[in-house]
Each structure stands twice: as structure tokens, then as C-alpha cells.
Amino acid sequence: MTSEPLLRVTGLEKMYGTRVGCRDVSFELWPGEVLAVVGESGSGKTTLLNTLSTRLAATAGRAEYLMRDGVWRNLFDLSEAERRLLMRTDWGFVHQNPADGLRMTVSAGANVGERLMAVGERHYGRIRSTAVDWLTRVEIAADRVDDEPRRFSGGMRQRLQIARNLVTHPRLVFMDEPTGGLDVSVQARLLDLLRGLVSDLGISVILVTHDLAVARLLSHRMMVMKDGLVVETGLTDRVLDDPREPYTQLLVSSILMV
Amino acid sequence: MAATLPSLSLSGVSKSFTMHLQGGIVLPVVRNVGFEVHPGECAVLSGPSGVGKSSLLKMAYGNYAVEAGAIRIRHLGEMVDIATASPRTILEVRRDSLGYVTQFLRVVPRVSALDVVAEPLVARGTEVETARARSRDLLARLNLPERLWSLPPATFSGGEQQRVNIARGFITDHPVLLLDEPTASLDARNRQVVIDMIGEKKAAGVALLGIFHDEDVRDRVADRLIDVALFAPEKAA
């Protein structure tokens, strides 16, 4: 068992002028750990995700990340070039809408290959075979490698986005409602796939979702947010089965049972 | 027995639920619970429904928060207090030392019964094929029809799901095993299999803490009854 976390967040705050995006957020994320951030629209969960992934600038606090070379760096002190390198190689970002994370007018194979080239791979044959291998891992038939994702169904696009993110073996993946716009049966397949890949590859994930069933299935630990603040945190099944805070009790009691 | 150290130990454990959506009423569950379970022993929680038996098991598993007191589980030679352990530590204890069999299976979409059962072994680093072989042995022993093994248990009957759950809970050699009505929806033949399996766990030095409403089963597995009504919170509290 590793004795060091991958990410240490302290007193993180993001204000939009005088309005609170998120405030006073502190936590540690360990290698291989999946942390779900749940809450309703406007709770600050997406702001938190975008701030941690340095897509938004924090207004206070620190987010220290253990770089591949073993050095701790505050993400908010990185240069633009360092940030971009992290995003292209050591991190992934799975958007709710696959069109935000894919290039819709280049082939599926090129979508996956592009990330490989970003980490220095130049050999065309290797890029193509790795791309095909990853398409297969996300259950896209190898003969679709030359098709553009705009010809894919929503579920396939989302699986392609996941392949594109995971091909560089990132250590940290941010996910924003990854099963959001999908049919229930397509969701189930994607969840099962994500669950398997994340545990096989030992990736750390920060998963933003409003869907508590998704959080239960994928995450080890859970953080409940309301009005920009973390109101409850703990082991996922503990938070869901014995919620302590009024807001968490409200969230859990609002789930429709089938 | 007295010479061995306990594998599970509760002391001063209290629990209540605060229902914030019902005007903050407080429902006391148990107060000042203390007992120990030793290796090779099956202790059975007794008392009427609603007395807090299942809540105690859930607290011991880290599934319910503990308000006061300590619940210590033997984990890799040390006693870990589940009441105060970090989520990460609780997951580690569950992976290596603490098993839990409930009446109900939480189904994961698309995962076959065979792999649902094999998963706890795979999580501990056992080769997938070795774990599946062990899974097949257990499912066969629990008389789950072989045609079901490759199917996800979502559509199984209650009794079939329960057998998958039992196999999953018994596949590891965890030193502590919590059993919440593992025989509730089983027929006589499969009930007997579970009774035998519990006996084997005891012989292997596992500490078991269980709930069995079926008196016949209880009499045959229990070394000791723990009356949970003794830990009932005072009415005035």
C-alpha cells in the first residue's frame, strides 16, 4: 500500500466576484482511489473539478500534486507549459458531452493516437495498433477505427472519449457526469467498463456526479457539497446508508427506488 | 478460548439516528455495547426485531457511523478501530480481514455470478483463473445451477442471489466474518450447506458474529448468544 497521497488540497476557494463557487475545500486523494463529489446543480462540484484541473484559477488555497518525478508541486504555481503537459499526459478529463473531449471530424483511431503523439510516440504502426487495442478495450469494434466519432452513437462516443483519455496511462482522471446524457442500459455498460478499467489500471479519479447510484458503484469515498461547501464526507456506502447531515439525508431520501 | 486474543472487540459502543427531515428527532439504537469474539467462535446476536442487531453488524463493517465507543477488528496482527479509522483503512480492513454476508445482494450490472463471487479474491491479488475455480467450487457446493454461473445475478431469485452472496462472503479466509441472516431464504438442503461452511470457518479459526432468526440454525452454529436487548438505550435518554 502506497504511503503517500497523489493530491493534497488545502483551503481551496474559487470566487466568481463576490459569489462563492466553492470554498474551504480540503482533502487528500490517494493512488487508485475514486472520490465522488456529489450535490445538486449549483452546489459547486463542477467549479471544484474545473479548479482542480486548473481549467479555472483558484482564488485561494493550494492543490499539491505529486509529479511523476516524485516532486510535490502546487498546481496553481505551474507554468502554462507545465500545465498543458500534465493535461496531455498524466491527467485525463472525461466530459459529460463527448463532443467536448473529442475531435468529431477526425477518425476514432486519430482521436486516440493524438494523445499518444503528445507523449512522444511517432511510429505510425505502433500508434495505430495501440489505438485499435484501446478501441477494443472500450468495446468498439476494430473495423470502426477509421470512422469519425460523429458517426458513433452517444454511448460509443463516450467510450471513445474514455479510450482517448486512458491511452497515455494517466495517474489522475477528472470525470464530469460521465454517464450523464446516456440511456440507462448504455449507462450500465459504461459504468461496468469504467469500474473495470479504473481498478485494473489503478487510476485515481475525481468523479463529479449528481447520480448517487453512479457514485455508489464507482467510488470509494464521497464528498457531499452544498452552496460551495463540503457538508459531509466519508466512505461511500457509509454516507449513503447512514447519512449524518440534513442535506445528505435529503439527497439520499430523494432517490427513486426501482 | 480464554487464552486467545479476540479478533473482534466492542467497547462502550453507542448509536442513535438523528432524523433531520423529521424535525430532528433522535432515535436511540444501542448504548454502551461491549463484547468480544474470539478466533474459532461463532457469537450470535439475539433479541427481538428492531433491537439493533443489524445496526451493530453494519457498524462493525464501517457501513454505519459509530457515535461513541470502539469496534476493534484484528487486521494483519493489529487491532484497528473501525469507529475512528479513515475510509481508506476501512476499505483495506474489508479487503484483507473483514467479511460481511447480508441477505441482499447489491448487483453490479453485467458482472457474472462467477465473477461476483471471485471478486474479493481477485481484489487481494489472486490470479483470476484461480479465483474463478474457487468460485465454481463454492457455487456448486451451494447448488446454484451451472447454467446461471455466467449470468449477472440481477434476474436471479432471492434464494439464488443469497447463495451468490454467501459464496462471495465465504470465498476469502478473512479472520472476521459478519453474517446477517445468511440462511433467510434458503431451503433445508442449502441451509445445511451453510451450517457446514460456518463449522469449517470456525475450525479454521475465524471469528464469526451473526444474526439468525431460524432457531434451528442458531442452535447449531452458535457458541454463545449475545442478548442485544441488554444494550437498549434507557427510555428517558
Please name the helix (run of DSSP H) or strand (run of DSSP E) that holds residue A235, with its range, or none. strand A229-235
How far A214 CA lies from chain B's nearest CA (Å)? 11
Q: For B56-82, how does the pLDDT look when each residue is reduced to its tens digit (9 = 90+)? A: 999 999 999 999 999 999 999 999 999
**Nearest chain B alpha carbon to A234:** B87
Nearest-CA distance A35 → chain B (Å): 11
- Tell me which residue in A217, A234, A242 faces B87 most closely, judged by beta carbons: A234
Chain A nearest CA to B219, separation (Å): 31
A38-90 pLDDT, tens per residue?
Answer: 998 899 999 999 999 999 999 999 999 999 999 999 999 999 999 999 998 89
How far away is chain B from the Cα of A221, in angstroms, using its nearest Cα? 7
Q: Answer yes or no: do B64 and A237 touch at CB < 8 A.
A: no
Average pLDDT over residues B106-113: 82
- For B93, phi then psi, to 5°, come to -65, -40
Cβ contacts (< 8 Å) between B124 and chain A: which residues?
A: none
CA A63 to chain centre: 16
Q: What is the average per-residue pLDDT within B103-112?
A: 79
pLDDT of residue A257: 57
Question: Does the pLDDT value for residue B2 go beyond 60?
Answer: no
Q: If you write DSSP's letter for every residue of chain B in order, what string do you get?
A: -TTSPPSEEEEEEEEEEEEGGGTTEEEEEEEEEEEEE-TT-EEEEESSTTSSHHHHHHHHHTSS--SEEEEEEEETTEEEETTT--HHHHHHHHHHTEEEE-SS--PPTT--HHHHHHHHHHHTT--HHHHHHHHHHHHHHTT--GGGTTS-GGGS-HHHHHHHHHHHHHSS--SEEEEESTTTT--HHHHHHHHHHHHHHHHTT-EEEEE---HHHHHHH-SEEEEGGGGPPPTT-
Cell numbers representing residue A106 in the block: 477526425
Beta-strand pair B207-211/B25-37? unpaired
Q: Which residue in A1, A195, A246 is closest to B20 by CB distance?
A: A246
Is-contact A58 A13, C-beta < 8 A?
yes
Q: B154, B206 in Cβ contact below 8 A? A: no
- CB–CB of A242 and B109 under 8 A? no
Q: Would the pLDDT of B176 be above 80?
A: yes
Phi, psi of B3 (to 5 degrees): -75, -25
Q: Which of A78, A55, A69 is nearest to A176 (CA)?
A: A55
Partner residues linked to A63 by β-bridges:
A9
pLDDT surpassing 80 at residue B143: yes
Q: Would an 8 Å CB–CB cutoff place A253 in contact with chain B?
A: yes
Question: Does residue B54 surpass a pLDDT of 80?
Answer: yes
CB contact under 8 A, A221 and B62: no
pLDDT of residue A181: 78
Chain B interface includes A202 (CB < 8 A): no
Greatest CA separation for chain A: 56
Asked whether residue B236 carries a pLDDT value surpassing 50, the answer given is no
Would the CB atoms of A1 and B92 count as touching at under 8 Å? yes
Query: Is residue B34 left, alpha or beta, with left meaning phi > 0 and alpha meaning psi from -120 to 50?
Result: beta
Q: What is the pLDDT along chain A (258 residues), one digit of tens a residue?
A: 457 999 999 999 999 999 999 999 999 999 999 999 999 889 999 999 999 999 999 999 999 999 999 999 999 999 999 999 999 889 999 999 999 999 999 999 999 999 999 888 899 999 999 999 999 999 999 999 999 999 999 999 999 999 999 999 999 999 999 988 788 878 888 888 888 888 889 999 999 999 998 999 999 999 999 999 999 999 999 999 999 999 999 999 887 655
- Written as nine digits, the cell of A104 is 468529431
Residues from B in contact with A at Cβ < 8 Å: 17-21, 58, 62-65, 87-88, 90-92, 108-111
Tell whether A245 is within 8 A of chain B (Cβ).
yes
- Residue in chain B closest to A246 (alpha carbons) equals B20
Q: Work out the angle at residue B178's Cα, subtended by the Cα atoms of residues A252 and B140, and round it to the nearest 5 degrees.
A: 105
Which pLDDT belongs to residue A1?
47
Distance from CA of B127 to the nearest CA of A (A): 13
Res. B3 pLDDT band, cuts 50 70 90:
low
User: Which of B184, B228, B176 lies closest to B202, judged by CA?
Assistant: B176
ipTM higher than threshold 0.85: yes
Q: Could you give phi then psi for residue B172, rounded to 5 degrees?
A: -90, 170
